[in-house]
Amino acid sequence: MKSPKNYVCNLKLAKELKKLGIKQKSLFYWFKTADTKEWKIAYLEDCLHWDKSDLFSAFTCAELGEILPDQVISLTDKEGYWNINQGIIYMNQKRQYFIELEGDDSEKIHKRYGKKAGSFIESREVNARAKMIIYLIENQLTDELVKVK
């Protein structure tokens, strides 16, 4: 079996998700070792009695998929909604994962916020999903995300 690092969001994104208030409930957690101060991943059962303030949920792709809403409020038309599209593309013969916001007013959003607004391409799907969740919270596009401070 591959290392859990292959299945979870990276540490930087995990820290950002916690900072933004995403509920820290996951199968895996990032923790810093006491001896080497190196960041590693532990299974939930291994850290049940640890101080949770020192842990960051290392969300899997499936866990982030549960957090992502199906639709968000449009940035340009507060009565409209945008869908969240996800898929696979090939760039330079390498498999990449994309996630983006799409709606009837897509042209308006690109003019107003730039072509890259609400669009992420990553080599790992889990990181693309984490970036979308961060984007949605930072731009106040959804109040559906389960958040606990």
Grade residue 148 by pLDDT with cuts at 50, 70 and 90. Answer: very low
Which residues constitute the domain of residue 41? 4-60
Residue 28 vs residue 139, higher pLDDT: 28
How many structural domains comprise the chain?
2
The three-point CA angle 38-128-44 to 5° equals: 45
Grade residue 134 by pLDDT with cuts at 50, 70 and 90. Answer: very high
Residue 115 has pLDDT above 70, yes or no: no
Residue 130 has pLDDT above 80, yes or no: yes
Location of structure tokens 């090939």: 90
Dump the DSSP string for 58-108. Answer: --BHHHHHHHS-SEEE-SS-TT-EEEEEEEEEEETTEEEEEEEEE-TTHHH
Residue 15 has pLDDT above 80, yes or no: yes
Please check whether residue 149 lies inside any domain of the structure.
Answer: no
Determine how β-strand 94-102 pairs with β-strand 56-57.
unpaired
Residue 84 has pLDDT above 80, yes or no: yes
The whole-number pLDDT of residue 17 equals 97
Give yes or no: residues 54 and 100 share one domain.
Answer: no
Q: What is the DSSP letter of 18?
A: H
Q: Name the pTM for this structure.
A: 0.84
Q: In the chain, what are the helix, strand and coil shares in percent, each to the nearest 5?
A: 30, 30, 40
Give yes or no: residues 130 and 84 share one domain.
Answer: yes
Please check whether residue 145 lies inside any domain of the structure.
Answer: no
CA 28 to chain centre: 15
How far is it, in rounded angstroms, from Cα 129 to Cα 133?
6
Give yes or no: residues 78 and 134 share one domain.
Answer: yes
User: For 33-81, what is each residue's pLDDT tens digit?
Assistant: 888 889 999 998 888 888 888 899 999 999 999 999 877 766 556 666 7
How far is it, in rounded angstroms, from Cα 101 to Cα 71?
9
Q: Mean pLDDT score of the chain, rounded to an integer?
A: 83
Separation in Å, CA 105 to CA 11, 19, 95, 129, 143? 34, 31, 29, 22, 21
- DSSP-based three-state secondary structure for 7: coil
